[in-house]
Every structure is written in C-alpha cells, then in structure tokens.
Structure 1
Amino acid sequence: MQGLVKDIFGEPIIGASVVIKGTTNGTITGLDGEFSLNNVEKGSVIQVSFIGYQTQEIAWNGQPLTLTLKEDSRQLEEVIVVGFGTQKKENLTGSVSQVSMDEVLGDRPVTSAAAALQGAMPGLTIGGGSGPGQSKSFNIRGTLSINGGSPLVLIDNVEGDINMLNPEDIESVTVLKDAASSAIYGARAAGGVVLVTTKRPKSGTNFNLNYNFNVGWEKPINVLEQASLLEYIDAYQEAGYTQTYWAGNGDVAKWRDYLVQYKKDPSSLNTIGDGIYKDTDGRVYWLSEKNIYDNILTTGFLNNHNISASGGTDKIRFRLSAGLSKENGPLYTDKDSYYRKNISAFVSADVLKWFTQEITVSYSDAKKKMPERVGNMVDFYSTRLVQYYPEGNMPAEIIGTDEELPTQTPMNMIRYAPVSTTRTAIPRISTRSIFKILPGWSVTAEYTFDRKDVNYDFYSGSFKYADCQLAVKNSIEAGQDYYKLQDEQTRYNAFNLYSNFEKKWGKHGFKAMVGFNQESSYYKLFMGQVKGQTAPSVPSFEGGSGEKLLQDSYSEYAIRSGFARLNYSFNDRYLLELNGRYDGSSKFPKNSRFGFFPSVSLGWRMGQEKFMNWSKSWLDDFKLRASYGSIGNQSIDPYSYTPAMNVGLDTVWLDGNDKVSVISLPGLVSSTFTWETVNSFNVGFDVSAFNNRLQVVFDWFKRKTTGMLSEGIEIPSVVGAGAPLQNIADLSSKGWEINLSWRDRIGNFSYNIGFNIYDSRAFIDKFNNESGFVDSNYVGKELGEYWGYVSDGYYTIDDFVLEDAQKGVWTLKDNVVSIQGVVPQPGDEKFKDLDGDNIISPASSTLSDSGDRKVIGSKTPRYQFGANIGVGYKGLSLDVRLQGVGKRDYVLGGAALFPFAGSSASDAVFQPLFYNQTDYWSAVSYDPNDPDFMKAKNPNAKLFRIYDQGNNVTSNTRASDKYIQNAAYLRVKNITLAYSFPKNWVQKAFMKDAKIYLSIENPFTFSSLPKGYDPEGNEYNEIVWNYPYYRTISLGANITF
C-alpha cells in the first residue's frame, strides 16, 4: 500500500504516523509526505495521525491513498490532571496551569526538572542557588505565612522529591493554585499543589526504544574584574593599615617600590619562582599579577544519558527507563561534583475486563561532593601567591618527601581541602488497582512505600602548605582533626482509596468522587563526631582517638483524611464544583487535630451563549470563573504542641573543660494550638480564539491566612522560657496573573509564542507587637520591605572644626548632623536627618519613633515573567526561553562591594580587591599644613573612604538607599537549535527518529546590577562568598528505534 499525507494547503506532512488500526504494523511519512506499507489487506482501516492535526481513519480500497489532515481545533478537549482524577480543560473552574515536560525541558542541559520549570507558568516561582546537584524549591503566588508553607509536591498522587526525579520520566506538571483546586488535598495544600505525572505508554503502542544524551561545558558568569597589584597596595596604604603586612613581616612601602622596579625591569631583582623576591632581611614580597578567578574557577563539565523502552498491546503496557547524570562543577577541584542514577519500571495489565493492575518501581541514587572550608583559608586568602613553593628552594622538612608544597592560595585551599560527601538513595514502589464497577463508575486503590536514606560523612584531614612568608604550616593542629558521620532515614507510607462516578442525563452532567487517604512518615537521625584518627587514610568513627560526640533525634507524623468532589454542568455551559476534605493530623493536640476544609467554584462558558453568535467566526470559547475556599496549614514541626526537654552535651560553669550530659527546661506551649487557616478567593477568565491558535488565561486572587502561629503575650524572664506559640497573627496577600500563547502552522513552517506574568504583595494584618518595633512584624507591614537610612553624600572637611581636624580630632560644627555613637571623618557616609534632631540614629526603632530610618525598598520580586518563542521549518527548529523580574530591590554589600570587608590589618592583605572597588573617596592631601588638607580628590566617588574595617567605628556599611539597587532583569534561560533528520533517511538506518541539537543555558542576562551580583540570587548573594551561576553549552542527540 502506498499513499500521500498533506495538509489543507497541499503541503506534505513529514513524520505523520500511518498505522493499520488494531495492529502494530505501521510507518512514518517521509520528506515528501509519502509512505508505503506492506502486508495490508484490502478493507483494513488505516489510521493517520500527527501532532496538531485531527486523526483520520479510512478503509483501504486497494488503491494509493491521498489523505488531507485538518488542524486540530479541539484543544478545549485537552485533559488536565487534577486531584485524584482528570478534567476536560473546557470544564475547569479553578485556577490551574499545566505544561508538558517535553515542551519546557526539550533538549536543555539541565539535571533538575524544577530548573526547567522556571518561567514556564505564571504564579510559580522556582528558588534555590547554583551548583552541581543544588536542590530547587517551589513557591506558588507569594508568601503564605510568616511560618512558611511550601506547595505540596505529588508524584503520581503521592508526595515525593522532584529534585531526585529524572526529568525524562515526567509527562506533565500541573500546578493547582487556588483553594478550589487544591482543597481536595487538605492541610498540606495551603501553599498550592504541584502534580507531577510520569510517563505512561498508551494501549496498542508500538515498541519504542529511545536514547537521549548530551554533553555540556559550564563557565561561570558575572565574574568580577580584579584590580592590579599596584592598585591593591595603594588601596591598602590608603586604608590606613599599619605600614607592615602579613602580621608585621613585610614593609608595605618597600613592597610598592619593589613592585614598581619589577614592572620596569624584572631582571633587576633576583627573584625566585614567579615574581617572588626575598629581601636581605629574609622577608618575602610577591610581585607577579595573579587573578583570583584563574586560581579558583575553571570550566565545568556535565553529561546526561537516558534510555527508555516502551510498548504494549491492548491488554498490557510497559515502560522501562534508566538515566545517568554526572556533573563536575566549575570550581578548580575534582571535589565539586554531582552524580545521579535513576531507574524506573512501569507495567499496566488489564487482568480482567473490569480490573486493571498497575505497578511502578523506581530507584534514585545521588552522590554529591563539595570542598569544605579549612578554617578561614578558603575565603580567597593569599590571592597574589603562586600555586606551589618554588622548585629548588624547598624547606628542609619537605626535601626528600617527593611532595609538592602548595601555597596558601584559594585554589589550593579548595583543591587540598577535605571533601564532604552526601549520598541520597530513594527506592520507591507504587501499586494502583482500578476496578470498573459499571460504565462511568470505578474504584481505585493506591499504595506507595517510599524509603529515603541520606548519608553524610566528612573528615577534616590535615595537609602542609606554605604561607605568604613561605613558612611551612599544617592546616589542622595535631590531634584536632575530626571525622563526622550523619545518617538520616525516612520511611513513608501512603494509601489512597477513591471512587469516581461520571454520568450525563440530557443536558445535565454529573461527576463525583469520594475517597479516603492515610499517610505516615517516620524520620530518624544519627550524628557522630570524633577527634583524631589512628588511620587517616580510612577514617572511621571507631578509629577516633579523641573526644566523641553523639546525637540522635526521632520524629513521626500521620495524616488521615476523607475527601469528596462533585461537579455539575448544565448544557456544558454552566459549571459548578464542590470540594471538601476532612483532615486529621498528628501534628496538633487531640482536641484540635481534625478540621474540615471546603471550597466551591463556578464557571460560565459565556462564549457558548446565543447572544455570542456574532463572534463564532473567530471566538472558540470564553469562560468566566470564580472560586472560594478554606484550607488548613500544617507547616510546623511534629511536636510543636508538646513541651519537650532537649538532652545533649555541653560544658558547665563548674568545669569548663569537659562536656557532660545536660537537659534543658521545656518550653511553654499553648492549650489552643491548632491549624492556621488559609481562605482564598479567585476570579478569572479563559479565552480561546482563532481556531484555538490564541489562548488567554487571566486570574485575580486574594488570600488571607488567619491564626498564624506567633509568640503571644510576653512572659517574665524569671519564668525561664519564651512565650508560647499561639494562633494570633493574620496575613493577607493579593495579586494577578496572565498567560498568553499563540501557536500556528503554515505548511511546513510552524511557530509559537508564549508570555506569562504574575504579581503579588503580602501584608501583616494582625500581630502581637504593641510597641510597633520596625525590625519585627507589625500591622500594616509589607513582607520583604527594607528599613534603612537616606544617603546625603559624604562628610567634607568643611563639616569639621579645622583647627581640631589638623590635630587629629574630628569635631563637627554645630549645624552639621552627627551620627550616634560614631565619630565621622571626611569621606564617611552622611545621612539625612529625617526626625530633625540633628543626630542620625534609629531612635526607638518603632513606628512612632523610627528616628532617621524609613522603608527604602523591598526584596519581594514583582512582575515575575516568562516567555518562549519557537519556530520550525521541516526538520529544523529553534526554541528560546526567557525569564525575569520586572521590579525588585537588592541590597548590595559584602566583599564584592566594600574593600577589605570585615578585615583587620593582620588579614586585609589576603583579601581581594576588585576594579569596581577602586573608585573610593580619597583626599588631595593628608598633611595638616597643606591648604588642600582633607579636601576630596574625587567628591563623586562611588564608595566612601577606604579604611581599616577590622577596627570599624564608622557607619559606612549600614543599610541605606545608596546601596539599594534595581534588581529587575531579563535572562535568556535557554536557546536550543535542533535538527530532525528526514524519516526516509533514518528508516534506512533502522531508526524511527533521529535528532541532533545545540543548547545554551543562561546565554544572556540583562540587568543593571553591578558585576559580581546575580539577579537570581538572594540579597547579599555576591560571587565572592557564594557559588557562581554559570552558562552551559551542550551538544546532544535523541534517537528512537
């Protein structure tokens, strides 16, 4: 049998599936849309399908076939996963977003499914830092409670860790945002629900074997530019440190002179190694330029391999998969790595006409290594040193040992530092039994056992290194090395039993579900630490010769619930949904352990009304939605309602040397301790237009959390315990979100555009803070706000009594504002006197007396958005994904901004100095007899005067609007270029599909933040002390047999 498949424009459709219905005999159309199929009997039903087009069936009459596929205009019939079931998209009345994992993941070089979801759906925020194996967190629609409250993440209806899941095993991710959608999950769903559905083969699916791999290279972004060594020495002297460096072992003035001489003529000094000069007095001076990041950061490498096999008949279906992810991060060491293995198997069998049994078995195993700090040496100390002690000049204790002697550089302190290893293993087994009682009525029983074991071990070890004066040192003093072991065990059981019923009588449609849920979790931790190791090469707890510390903890909780849902539709136009869950949690006292949480939602498909007939030519559907519901929040520790005495080891005042067992007094608890309650109201609309090419979804929401747990009335100090937690605080938030998408196909050219944006704000409505302290929560406070001072430039010499200043006494003139507890000098930060008392101070730090502080910004991200653009022509495709924040304030600080941040004279020389830190205030002259004494050389400098921050008595680094930056940004998250080979080519190689691709993660970022600060990071998240974000360039292939 031969034939041709084309679209309504007459263009051939490449890759359309052509199958003899009811068999596995099939093929795929080639570049010209033609196909051929052997062993076809006359009268056989031929089924032709392709993504985005309506499936067509035709009986073969023995002649060549020509089939024209029409675009699928039935997008409204898309099935959306909801709690314990599915709903047609057209009948949804709650706020729900769903994405296909294949669409958002595509061919991106990411090892985490959560990372791929960033910017994919409005209202969903992905948090977490950077680095190999770094876990990501979810947030839905902003702050839920002052006590936290993350979304409930369910993998196939059971709680799980998405960070350990292989992204290639995920079919779709659904986010339930409002109470009407998530109330079915009760007290754990107050923060919303993330439903992860894993891949399942369909009935009658042909056997498919797929292999997907990619390799990638990681390069840190946002790297700071280091100042020159001469700029560094000048800044060091300008700071007013003592005229020696490295604890008095070198003369700074001589260091500068030697450096100038060396730059002019390196041969003029008798150096050893790379720019190391030993003076006649034996002091060592380092004269070569060394870049801090060349010594710390390099190119990381990752590779992902995934293989899966699936298929089946009308009676039995299966899918097997295995994944391997390995990542070596960009730190200059092999101890910065993440290695994960995933294996899963799924089998579904129709044992009887009325009984289907499913079983899923999976195993995830991860190993993460990272270098630990050795004292403070890894903190970028000794950035100017060469890497190893110069050959031929080894000290006596090293000569003859065949050892290299590393110097005290950041790279060496990372490379030779001990490593911590965290191993995580999660085996899981799930079963699902489906009983089809009658047409439209089924009963489902699910059981899952999940085991999670986390093992952490660390040995401090000891190694020799050369310090800045080339003296040999040990990283750990003898006998102070230690071995630490920590084991965590979690055992989780979940059982669901629920029944679904669906029936339609004329214009009346009914759908009902009722069920029971029982879950229990057990957690145990053991930690041991011992000093000294008799066999350091194989450290162990029993091999320790010194002090031993032991600690363990145990907790468990259980949940028992009944739930129900009722859907009613009239004429597929007027929609009603009722949800209710009766929840019981062991985290609360017996008298307040249970609660009922209901919700209701309404929908009106107004586009189906007769009065909307005028729009039928372009409007496919227009639906209005509204919902209201109440959910409990149980995001607390399992024993918060129980007075507890902690047992541990501590030194006592009678003998401060030995540790003994001590028992702490129990805290106070409230007798009315119970749920926090979240009430949610949501309105929105859905629009589908132009043959479903255009999709618009809009939501406005308001959420109020009442009875938040907070400290109640103040307790006299003689009681010896803090105030108990009580349900006495309230919080409210409101916001909106919109999702727009356009998708079209013109012959062999296809394109899609998507954009989503979301915003929310949260305020404290009730809180026990009668004094109104601004550094705590208070009524009316917007969460995330910053309090600080208002900058007013720098102090100048004109602000001081000149005669006193010439004597080294800094006396402010009478009309000049002073700073409480600080003696400022010219070049120090000056602030505006907001309360008019001529003294800069926080006063009482209350709302009624906040002194010279006010709200100067907010760290809450506003207008979070995501976008995607995709184009395709025949086998070539280009996809671009963007993500960003429209408004956010960011407090600059730390070592990426302030020179010698927190450094005293003894260690400032070890700190890096960056180019952006060289624009500091300085004086024309420091000579009291000079007419230009203390006059500003650069009055518009970005930074205050440089000084010894180890003896900091100024207020230059206190929070002020000067260091509040606009952290709005647009980041191109991914660009992927892919090519799918023509079907007739790959079929000759016994393949069904073959694709190659180039993908770049984080290629571009547009932000006004200075270098060294990443807009995705939290406040103060600068590159100096935090793991850098990086760009990944990868190549890969996806092959199906």
Structure 2
Amino acid sequence: MNKRRMRASLLVMLLSGVAQAQDSTGSKKDDFNLLFHTQAKKKTTAAVAELYDAELQKTFSTSFQGILSGRATGVYTIQTNGAPGNDDVGLLIRGQAPLVMIDGTPQSFNSINPEQIESITILKDAVATAMMGFRGSNSIVQITTKKGYSGPQRIEFTAFSGFSRPTVNPKPLNAYNYATLYNEALTNDGRLPVYSQADLDAFRTGSDPIGHPDVNWQSEVMKKQSAYSRYDLQISGGTEMARYYVDLDYLSQPGLFKTSADNSYNTNADYKRYIFRSNVAVDFNKYISTGLNLFGRIQNTNQPGVTTATLYNNIINIPANAYPIFNSNGSLAGSQDFTSNIYGATYKSGYRPGYERDFKVDLYVKAKLDGITKGLWIRGAGALNGYLQQNINRSKAVVVYQQRYGAAGDTSYKQFGTTQDQANGTTAGSQNRLFYTELSMGYNNSFGKNNIDVLVLANNDYRMINSDLPYNVRGVSGKVSYNYDGKYMVDVAAGYTGSERYAKNHRYGLFPAVGLGWNLTKESFLAGKTSWINYLKLRASYGITGNFNPGYYAYNQYYITAPDYNLGNSPTAALTVRQGVLANPNLSWEKAQKFNMGFDASLFRNSLDITVDYFNDKYYDLLQQIGNNTDITGANYGLQNIGKNRYYGVEVQLNYHKQAGAFHYFIAPNFTLQQSEVVYQQEVYRPYDYMQRTGRPVNQFFGYVADGLFQNAAEVNAAAKPSASSVVAGDIRYKDLNNDGVINANDQTAIGTTAPLLYYGLHIGSGYKGFDIAVLFQGAANRNIYLGNSYYEFQGGHGQAFEHHLDRWTPQNTGAMYPRLAVGTSYNNQQVSSYWVRSGNYTRVKSIELGYALPATITKLVHMQSARIFVNATNLFTFTSLKDVDPENYTYLYPIQKMVNLGINIKF
C-alpha cells in the first residue's frame, strides 16, 4: 500500500470509529480505561470481579444491569418493571448504587447491547476506587467496549427472533365471585348487600352481558405473548499501525397490548433501538498513538394515548363487572365510578411517541516518553456525551356512556367525558450534556525483581442536566503499584476532588487507600511443595472514600412566596415571603471507611478457581434529617451529615472447569452474604427501645407484630385493641408490646427478618464437539417483601379483588390466609404489620442457552469462519413461595417478561 492510500485509509478509520491503543508489539492495551484500569488479577490487591462478552450475551435485557444478574459476587439486581424499553433493573454493589463508567468516563445511560461489550469489571473496595475521590464510595461498574486488532478483516453477524410473555399474570376475580365477595364485605361492614341473587345468577350465567357484564380485560386487550427481534453486525480488523471496530445493532420489542387495523397509527407499547459504535486506534509511530470512539443511539418508544402505566393499571384494577365493553347502541360503556373504558383506552385514546437521542465521543492522544526514561508516558483525553428525550402527546379523549333503563322499559345513555380535539404537543422529557477532560502521566518499569507502576492525573467532569445550573467535578489523583517478583504487592491510591455544589470552605476532600498482597506460591515453603495448589494470594485493603450527594446548592438559603403564613394563631391572607428549606452551609460529601480482605486461589492443575472476600464498610456523614427539631422557625430543616450505616459480609466465587477429550464442562457458583446496620441516626423521640431504628438493618420494615386473626367475640373482648377503631372476629390481632392494653404506635417494632441477605448465582454448562449448553440460576434468600396496597381488596370502595381473596376469613373458614373482607379502607387490617410481610426468596432460571456450531467442513464451503445456531431463554422459570405475584415485580406494574428466541451467529 502506497503512502497516499495508507493516509486515506487512516482518515476513513478515524472518521468511522473508536480506538483501542496497542503498544508497539501489537498486544492489547485499553487506553480508554487507563485511569481506572485494573492490573492483571494476579498482580492487584483490589477486590474486583470480571465478566466477559461471551457469557454476557446469553441473557436478554435492554440494559446492562439486567445481564449482570447472578453472574458475580457483590452484585444484587432487582427488576420491578418489564415494559418495553423500560425493564427497570436496579443494581446494587455491596448494598450501594454504583457509578457506571464506559471506556473510562462516567456515564448517564445504561442501554448498551452486549455484543459491543468486551468486558465488565466491578471495582468494589477502596483501593480500586480511591482515584474517583468522592464518587468512589458506592463501587464502580466499568464497561470496556470491543476494540480492533491487527489482522484480516472479520465480519460477525448475529440475529435472533423470539417471543416474550409475562412471568406471572395477576388473577382478578370474575364478575360472579367479585359480586359475591363484595356483598360479603358490605355485610361485614354492617351495610346491606348491593347485589341480589338475581344479579349473582346473571353474572354467573352471562345471561345479561349489558346489565351484568363479566369482562376479562386481560383477554380482551392484551396478547398472551409478543414477538421481538435483534440484529447485530460487527466489522473489525486493521494493521499494526491502525485498528478498527464497527458495530451496528437493531432491536425491536413490541408490547403486549392488542392493536386495531382501524387505526393508521400504532397504539401498542413498543420499543425500537438503533445503536452505532465505531472504535479506531492509530499508532502514528512507536511513540505517538491516538484513539477515537464514536457512539450513537436512537430509541423510539410508543405508548397508547392514556400511557402504558395507566392502561395496565386499569386492566389490573378495574373489576370484571364494572361495565360492558359496549352498550346496546355500540357506544363505549362506562359509569360514574369508572369513566375510563379499557377497550377505548387501548384502541381509541390516540398514541404517544417518544424519541431519545444520545451520542458519545471519546478521544485520546498518548505519547511514550522512553527517550526521557523507559516506561514514562503522557496522555490527554476528552469525552463528550449528549442526551435528549422528547415526548409527543397525540392522545384523544375517550367519551363513555352509561346505559340506563327507565320505568317504562325505555333506554337512555348518560355521558361521561367530553369530545375534544386530539392533543398535539411536544415536551422535552430530559436532557443532559457531559464534557470530560483528563490529563495523565504514568511510569511503568522493572528493576530486577522490582516492578513499579505509577499513574497521576487531573480531570474535570462538566455536567448540565435538564434546566439545572451546570456543575463540575474536578480533581487530581494518583496510584502507585509495586510488587517484588510477583510475591509481595503494595497499592497506594488517593483522590483529591471537589465541586462547586459544596460551599467554598467544604469544596475539596482527600480520599486515600492502601492495599497489600502476598503470593504464597512464590514462597520457598510452598513453591513446588504441593501439586494441588497452583496459585494462592492473600490480600487486604483499607481506605477512605466519598459519595457525591450535594443536592442543588443546598448551602445557600432560598426564600419562597406562600399565602396564609401564620403569625401566632392568625393566618395572613396576603402573599408573604418566607424561608424555604433551611440552608446547610456545612454540607459535605458522605464518607466511608472501607476494609476488605480476601484470597484468590487456583487448585488442582488450575481446574478450580476460588475467590473469597470479607468486607466491612462503615458509611458515615450520611445526609439525613435531624430527629430532634422544632416547628418554631416555621421552615423545613435541611439535610445534615449525621448518619452512620455499616455494611459487611462475605463473598465466595468458585469456578470448576474440566476437559476430557471432546467433552468439557464447568460449574461456577457464587454467593454473597450481606448484612447491614444502622449505626447511628438522630431519631425522633420513641419511648421504648424496641421502637428504635438504631442497631437494626438498613431499610428494616417497622410496624405491628401480627398474632393471627381474631376467631370470635370472646377473643376480641379479652385482647388489647386499637384505640382508633373497633375490631371483630376475622380481623388481625396485634401484639401489645408495652402491655398497656391498647394497640397504638407504641406497639410498633421491627418486622420481617433481620437475617443477612443472601444473593447468589450458579452458572453451569458443558460442550461436546459442536454442541454446547449453559444455564444460569439466580436468586435471593433471607429476603422480605411488603405486599401493601396492591394486595388489598375493594380499594376506593369499588376496586379490584383477586383470587387470593377467595381464601378469606369467614366463620366457616377460620384457617384462612386473608382477613375478613371490607369495602374500602379497613383501618385495623391495613395497618403496616408483619401480616403483610412475605418471603421474597426465589430462584430463577435467569438464562439458558443450547447451541450447535456447524462443522468446519460445511462452513468452509460458503467461506465462513464459523456458524452457530442457538436457542436462548431468559427468565424461563421461577421457584418461589409466592403464588400470584412475581418476587421482583410484586406491585402489579407492567409484568416482567420471559423471553425465548432462536438465533444464529455467523463469522467471516
């Protein structure tokens, strides 16, 4: 290739892609993650977990959090929503919400296709995150995207298509059972039934579908399953001088709502995503290299005009006998109590498109300064990230009519709602901009058996979010890593960071950490003495980290206007100016003292890998409201740095793998046992020790301790009762903890388990010749959920009832799991109590994949490097004691989906 053509090729690669820097030998070196890179695991003292691309692609999720479930210790995920494009997966690392970084810079988006991910590294202890300063307390999830390589061009195409359906569908009652239980609830309340025997017979037989409807709304407007598909194309290659990686990805995920051919627009809850990534790296010579990463994502969403959340809420919570779909004249039915017709909301309420656009550009230039001294380098980097979400409202008003019959048998229709023009408006849901800059210098060299790696840098992270004033997080940090002959290891790291979101005299802080490691297999007393211990390293770390949680310039005092400001006992009618939330000029970042100790081992000819960690993290200066306050100021108190919590536990990761000829298999279990404790919070006055939050687990449930159900009047008369309501047989009985004969707030204490949370995963698989299978189990134990409002009957006086209400207390069913029924609010039975706490323990088959790689004799015929066909499923089975709700999504939000698909992966 002549010089002109080479320069043209380099220009094309730079314009099309993102970079990976490699050293002059061509070995991989990810310069985008230089700041937070971890050394080879055998050389670091930090607590880290690493996941790689092949295993991440086996779980379907539109967010990276979803593909982490069950795969690493310390990683706890909980999915509360399954709506297309909004499979809301919460992620905690050792009990904290982590900072997410992609290719070395902090990020605000989580939707990234797994094919673009080279690895995910989870940095858990202080020495691994100290350089982030006051953004390192909550651990870091570091995503590294794929890069190019020096070699012939490779093309890889992956396509799969399948279907999704809910893991659990709520089970509302049919009209007959609903009416029967409603009459019973009214009778329990001392009121007359509203449904006659003729009404009940009509509901049961379906003889009067207009006057006595029985509509299964899930069947009427929801599909049992929905199709989806994904397509991904990757192209990579390059020369010793320049390397490139390009990826194009398309995902389509329709929702479960039915649509009508009568509409010229889509009314389903759909999600479509388009992602482009290009990574290019160029070595101009053996000293100067540069890299450019380009990322673009377009997400198009759609909702019915009433919104997905509202429609699904109505489907679940409007009773089957509320109204028919249509009246006799074909109009949409409704009533005074139910003015939203579900059929109309599904098909006739218009639609709401949504558009999300974001891009990210990463650029670095690195110079090796071996001419000054071997191993010295300097590097400048920058990243620009922009995000915009727009929502378009093209909804329509749905008018409903209640069909009525006069004394003479005539029919009339009462209208609810008014006809209006279709809405047509656009709003910016959210938008943000990020501009990150960094200047770093490093030194890496060896002197005999002494190895040293030094990194120092300065960076600035500028952010503008929605209409808020912009802010910066800036600082300097450094890390020194030393090891002697790979035997003794020391890591010392520190970050000095600050932000104008804090007052000037509280703006910057220092966050140091140190780690020690000892490779015992290098010692003479162990080296070569045992054939079954191939590697054994002990390590420990300790450091001070911070959490950036400043609020919105909360150190300044602001004033607000409000009417009716009380002067003594006389309210003023005029508009007055008064203090808002009281300012806290001493506001500072939250802090943590983090201690970690553990070991890494390889045994039995490296067939068994073991990693064990013990962590003890004390979080202090947590922002909380003071408990002892007064109303004398007339203003609300702001947050203060007063709280203290502790998280501690044990993590165990095992990986056993074996090869026997053409057959191979692996077993990789992991579990985390995690406990927490409120060490200190300034509590409001509570007269009894059992009411105190201090000393309890963080986020412990508090309420009444249920003691079964009252079975008769004698039990009611002999027991302590609530002072604010009367109780009868079938109501929940509560324990009188202070023995004063009255059930009130003084009888509330910790409810639910206080045992450590156990979360775990088990990844197993095998392969024989071209066949392979892998299964991932994921779950949690010692976990409680609070069912609360979503579990109650007849809420609001006319709300839904479900199959679990059939097993309610009656004089004939004294062993029931549910109390006696009531209409609306039951003051006694709907108190927060242990009665509504359930075990949230579960084990889920998170993913399972069966694949077959075509023989090389076949793929070569069509000039393919390889071809693999696979069947993949996510959330296929769930084992839990809960019968009618999902253990993660138990509040009747849009259901979590189980996904089954057939796909193919082709490489050229």
**Aligned counterpart in structure 1 of residue 809 of structure 2, from 911, 916, 921:** 921
Match of 1:322 in 2: 248
Is the counterpart of residue 866 in structure 1 residue 794 in structure 2? no
3-state SS of paired residue (2:181): helix
Counterpart mapping for 1:140-159 below 5 A: 140-144=92-96, 150-159=97-106
Distance 1:599 1:394, change over 3 A: closer
Deviations 1:24-73 (A, max 9, x none): xxxxxxxxxxxxxxxxxxxxxxxxxxxxxxxxxxxxxxxxxxxxxxxxxx
- Distance (whole Å) between structure 1 residues aligned to residue 392 and residue 563 of structure 2: 23
Match of 2:904 in 1: 1037
3-state SS of paired residue (1:442): strand
- Distance (whole Å) between structure 2 residues aligned to residue 407 and residue 595 of structure 1: 57
Structure 1 contact 80–88 (Cα < 8 Å) conserved:
no
- Distance (whole Å) between structure 2 residues aligned to residue 661 and residue 1038 of structure 1: 68
Counterpart mapping for 1:536-547 below 5 A: none
Structure 2 unmatched runs, 5+? 1-28, 260-266, 405-411, 567-573
Structure 1 contact 597–630 (Cα < 8 Å) conserved:
yes
Shift in Å, 1:453: 1.1
Counterpart mapping for 1:227-242 below 5 A: 227-240=173-186
Distance 1:672 1:188, change over 3 A: same
Is the counterpart of residue 180 in structure 1 residue 124 in structure 2? no
Structure 1 contact 492–520 (Cα < 8 Å) conserved:
yes
**Aligned counterpart in structure 2 of residue 960 of structure 1, from 817, 833, 837:** 833
- Distance (whole Å) between structure 2 residues aligned to residue 1039 and residue 737 of structure 1: 38
Q: Judge which range, 861-870 or 574-583, deviates more.
A: 861-870
Is the counterpart of residue 903 in structure 1 residue 796 in structure 2? yes
Counterpart mapping for 1:347-746 below 5 A: 347-371=280-304, 372=307, 373=310, 380-384=317-321, 388-389=325-326, 393-394=329-330, 409-438=341-370, 439-467=374-402, 471=413, 473-475=415-417, 485-525=427-467, 554-613=468-527, 615-645=529-559, 665-712=579-626, 714=628, 716-746=630-660
- Distance (whole Å) between structure 2 residues aligned to residue 1029 and residue 558 of structure 1: 38
- Distance (whole Å) between structure 2 residues aligned to residue 79 and residue 696 of structure 1: 29
Is the counterpart of residue 254 in structure 1 residue 198 in structure 2? yes
Distance 1:991 1:650, change over 3 A: farther
Shift in Å, 1:172: 0.3
Shift in Å, 1:419: 4.0
3-state SS of paired residue (2:101): strand
- Deviation above 6 Å: which 4+ runs of structure 1? 77-82, 241-245, 479-482, 649-653, 660-664, 773-777
The one-letter code of the counterpart of 1:258 is A
- Distance (whole Å) between structure 1 residues aligned to residue 533 and residue 564 of structure 2: 75
Match of 1:12 in 2: none
Deviations 1:391-419 (A, max 9, x none): 7x346x99xxxxxxx99653543343454
Match of 1:103 in 2: 55
Match of 2:709 in 1: 794
- Distance (whole Å) between structure 2 residues aligned to residue 330 and residue 884 of structure 1: 26
Shift in Å, 1:201: 1.5
Structure with higher RCO (Cα < 8 A, 6+ apart): 2
- Distance (whole Å) between structure 1 residues aligned to residue 340 and residue 643 of structure 2: 52
Structure 2 contact 312–894 (Cα < 8 Å) conserved:
no
Match of 2:225 in 1: 299
Equivalences, count: 847
Shift in Å, 1:370: 3.0
Deviations 1:180-230 (A, max 9, x none): 111011111110111110000222x22111111111211112223444433
Match of 2:39 in 1: 87
Please tell me whether Structure 1 or Structure 2 has the larger radius of gyration of its CA atoms. Answer: 1
Is the counterpart of residue 785 in structure 1 residue 785 in structure 2? no
Shift in Å, 1:163: 1.9
Distance 1:834 1:317, change over 3 A: same
3-state SS of paired residue (1:988): helix
Structure 1 contact 79–89 (Cα < 8 Å) conserved:
no
Match of 1:840 in 2: 743
Shift in Å, 1:79: 13
- Distance (whole Å) between structure 2 residues aligned to residue 159 and residue 233 of structure 1: 55
Distance 1:465 1:661, change over 3 A: farther
The one-letter code of the counterpart of 1:1015 is P
Match of 1:1008 in 2: 881
Structure 1 contact 244–252 (Cα < 8 Å) conserved:
no
Structure 1 contact 735–760 (Cα < 8 Å) conserved:
yes
Shift in Å, 1:1037: 1.0
Deviations 1:366-412 (A, max 9, x none): 12233423898566325247874267x346x99xxxxxxx9965354
Structure 2 contact 788–832 (Cα < 8 Å) conserved:
no
The one-letter code of the counterpart of 1:285 is H
**Aligned counterpart in structure 1 of residue 777 of structure 2, from 866, 882, 889:** 882
3-state SS of paired residue (1:302): strand
3-state SS of paired residue (1:740): strand
- Distance (whole Å) between structure 1 residues aligned to residue 110 and residue 577 of structure 2: 38
Is the counterpart of residue 217 in structure 1 residue 158 in structure 2? no
Distance 1:241 1:331, change over 3 A: farther
Is the counterpart of residue 165 in structure 1 residue 103 in structure 2? no
Coordinate RMSD, CA, aligned: 3.4
3-state SS of paired residue (1:230): helix
3-state SS of paired residue (2:345): helix
**Aligned counterpart in structure 2 of residue 938 of structure 1, from 809, 813, 816:** 813
- Distance (whole Å) between structure 2 residues aligned to residue 137 and residue 1003 of structure 1: 17
Shift in Å, 1:466: 4.1
Structure 2 contact 393–423 (Cα < 8 Å) conserved:
no
3-state SS of paired residue (1:780): coil
- Distance (whole Å) between structure 1 residues aligned to residue 291 and residue 402 of structure 2: 64
Instruction: Give the TM-score normalised by the residue count of structure 1.
Output: 0.76
Deviations 1:470-520 (A, max 9, x none): 946455576997957235331211111112211111121111111111121
Deviations 1:821-859 (A, max 9, x none): 11112222222333222222223xxxxxxx2x3222149
- Distance (whole Å) between structure 1 residues aligned to residue 87 and residue 475 of structure 2: 30
Is the counterpart of residue 893 in structure 1 residue 815 in structure 2? no
Match of 2:15 in 1: none
Q: Judge which range, 112-121 or 84-93, deviates more.
A: 84-93
Shift in Å, 1:674: 1.7
Distance 1:719 1:113, change over 3 A: same
Shift in Å, 1:965: 1.6
Structure 1 contact 860–889 (Cα < 8 Å) conserved:
no
Shift in Å, 1:995: 1.2
- Distance (whole Å) between structure 1 residues aligned to residue 94 and residue 774 of structure 2: 29
- Distance (whole Å) between structure 2 residues aligned to residue 213 and residue 776 of structure 1: 56
Match of 1:131 in 2: 83
3-state SS of paired residue (1:237): helix
3-state SS of paired residue (1:323): strand
3-state SS of paired residue (1:667): coil
- Distance (whole Å) between structure 1 residues aligned to residue 158 and residue 464 of structure 2: 37
Shift in Å, 1:946: 1.4
- Distance (whole Å) between structure 2 residues aligned to residue 635 and residue 477 of structure 1: 47
Structure 2 contact 776–848 (Cα < 8 Å) conserved:
yes
